Amino acid sequence: MSTLSDLVSAQGIQSESDIEWLHKVAADGQLLADLSFADIVIWAPTADDSYLAVAHVRPSSAATLFYRDIVGERIRPQWQSQVREAVATLRIVDSTSPEWFEETPTRVRAVPIVRRVDDEPRVIGALTRHSNLGEVRAPSRQQITFNECADELFGMIATGGFPDPDAPTGARRGAPRANDGLIRLDADGVVTFANPNALSAFSRLGFGDELEGESLAEVTAALSDASIDADESLPVVASGRAPWRTDIQARGVTVALRTIPLRESGQRVGAIVLSRDVTELRSQEQEILTKDATIREIHHRVKNNLQTVASLLRIQARRTPSEEARDALGQAMRRVASIAVVHDTLSEGLSQNVDFDVVFDRVLRLVAEVAAAPNTLARTHRRGDFGVLPSKYATPLALALTEIVTNAVEHGLKDSDGDVEITADRSDERLVVRVRDTGAGLPAGQVGRGLGTQIVRTLIQGELGGSIDWTSPEGGGTEVIVDIPMRWIAR
C-alpha cells in the first residue's frame, strides 16, 4: 500500500508543508481513535472534487467498523456531502441520524483539517470519526472524559490549533497513549480527572493520595528524585503549559509524560497529560547505550593496538639490513594500517556500517605515500561511490584493495611516472571495482603467485563471495576487476 505522502501527492497536493501537517494529524490518529472509541479516517481532496482515504486508524478501546483496509479508497456517497459541508463551512458536521454500515448502526462526524498560513485558515483535507452504535451502553466517567477530550481536539483540528506546531516531532519509544494513563488538567494545572492507570503509575512513583484536586506540577516536584538531574521542562509539562514530553523518575520508577494543551479561541483552557510507566523500556535503552559505548571503546582500542603494531613493523623495517625482509615488513605494516583505518571509522559512531568512501580515501593516501619508491611518482584517482557497507565486508574489501593498489604502485609504476585510477560502480545487485594503472603491464601476461595475490583471492572470493580478474588493456598497463554480489545488503 502506498504511503500517505504518495497518496496525497498523487491527488495534486504538492505543498510539503500541507503534507507534513497531514502526517502530524495521522501521527496522533491513534490518540484520537482511542479517545473517541471510534475509527478515524483521513481524507485528501481529489482533482474531481471527491476525497481519497490516505490514513486510517482503528481504536484499541472499541471494536472497529472497518475490518478491511480502507486506505486508497474513494469516499462513499453517504459521507461525501457531510465532508464537503465541513470543508466549505470550516466547522464540524455530525450526521443527523444513525447511518448503517455493513449492517451496523454508526454515527459519523466530519472535521475539516485546517492549517493556518499567515494566521489565515487553509483547509487541506478532512477527518471522519465513525462510531459504532451497536455496542452503546451507559458510559462510564472515564468514557465521558475521553469523549470530551476528543471533542476538544477535534475542535482544535478544525481551527488549525492541533497538532501543535511547537510539539516535538516523531514518537519516542515508549510514548504514552490514552489507555496507558490519562490526566485532565484545568487552566490552573489542577487535576480534574485521572484514570486508574495514571493513578497506578503515580502510586509506583510514591504518591499514595488522590490526584484529583492536586496541582500536578507540585505533585511531580515533590516526587522527583533529588539524586537524579530532573528535566528542566518537567514543571512546564506537568502544569499543562507546553506540548512537550518528559520523564519523571522516583524510587527506581520512570514515568513518561506527554502534555497536550487544550485551547479555545487561542486561550488555554486546560490540558491532557498522558502518562506511562516506562521503567523497563528506559532500562533497556540505557543497557543498549552502554553496550554501544562498550563496542565503540573496543573498536577504539583495537585501532590503537593495530596502529601500534603498524608502527613497530615500520621501525623494524627501517632497521632491517635485508631488502627482502624490509619489503615484507613494509607490506605487513600497510595491511595492518588499512585494517586500523576501518576500526577507526567504526569507533566514531554507534553503527556497525561504515561509509566506505571515507575509509578508502584514507587507505588510498596511506598506500600512495608509503608504497611509492623514491623514483616512482604515483597519482591516484577515485571515481564513483562505494556507499555504506557493513563492517564485516568493509575490512576484507579495504585490505584487498590495499594489496591491489600497492601492487599497482610498486610493480606497475615501478621507477616511473603514472596514474592509478580506482572506479567504483555500485548497483542494487553488484559492486564492481576497477583498479587500472598506466604502468608496464603484467609480466609475460601472467598474474603473479605471491603472498599479496593469494591474500586478495582469499578475501574477495572466500570472504566476500565475489570474483577477481587481472587483464592487460589495449592502451597498456594493468586492470584488476573486482565483482562483489550485493545480496548480503538485504539480509
% residues pLDDT > 70 (the chain): 89
**DSSP codes of every residue in 357-397:** HHHHHHHHHHHHHHH--TT-EEEEEEEE---EEEHHHHHHH
Distance CA 201, CA 64 (A): 28
Q: What's the burial of 119, exposed, middle or buried (CB within 10 Å: 0-12/13-18/19+)?
A: exposed
According to CATH, what is the number of the domain 4-159?
A: 3.30.450.280
Identify which of 47-61, 303-317, 339-353, 438-452 has the greatest average pLDDT.
47-61
In this prediction, residues 434-445 reach a mean pLDDT of: 79
Q: What share of the chain is helix, strand, coil (3-state, %, to 5)?
A: 45, 25, 30
- pLDDT tens for each residue of 348-404: 665 678 888 888 888 777 776 655 556 667 788 889 999 888 877 888 888 888 888
Q: Are 220 and 228 in contact (CB under 8 A)?
A: no
Q: What is the chain's alpha carbon radius of gyration, rounded to the nearest angstrom? A: 33
Domain pair 178-277 / 376-491, same fold: no
Which among 308, 399, 394, 311 has a CA at the least distance from the CA of 351? 394
pLDDT value, residue 13 = 65
**Taking the model in full, what pTM does it have?**
0.66
**DSSP codes of every residue in 130-177:** EEEGGG--PPPHHHHHHHHHHHHHHHHHHHT-SS-TTSPPSPPTT---
- The single residue listed with the C-alpha cell 470530551 is 148
CA 320 to chain centre: 53
The dihedral of CA 411, 412, 416, 421: what is its sign?
A: negative
Q: Are 426 and 385 in contact (CB under 8 A)?
A: yes
User: Can you state the angle between helices 323-346 and 391-407, rounded to 10 degrees?
Assistant: 150
pLDDT value, residue 490 = 47
pLDDT value, residue 491 = 44
Class of the domain covering 376-491: alpha beta
Question: What are the residue ranges spanned by the domains of the chain?
Answer: 4-159, 178-277, 280-350, 376-491
Q: Hey, what CATH topology would domain 178-277 get? A: Beta-Lactamase (3.30.450)
- pLDDT tens for each residue of 172-214: 566 888 989 999 999 999 999 999 999 999 999 999 889 999 9
In this prediction, residues 254-261 reach a mean pLDDT of: 93
Distance CA 256, CA 248 (A): 6
In this prediction, residues 446-463 reach a mean pLDDT of: 80
Identify which of 68-72, 108-112, 319-323 has the greatest average pLDDT.
108-112
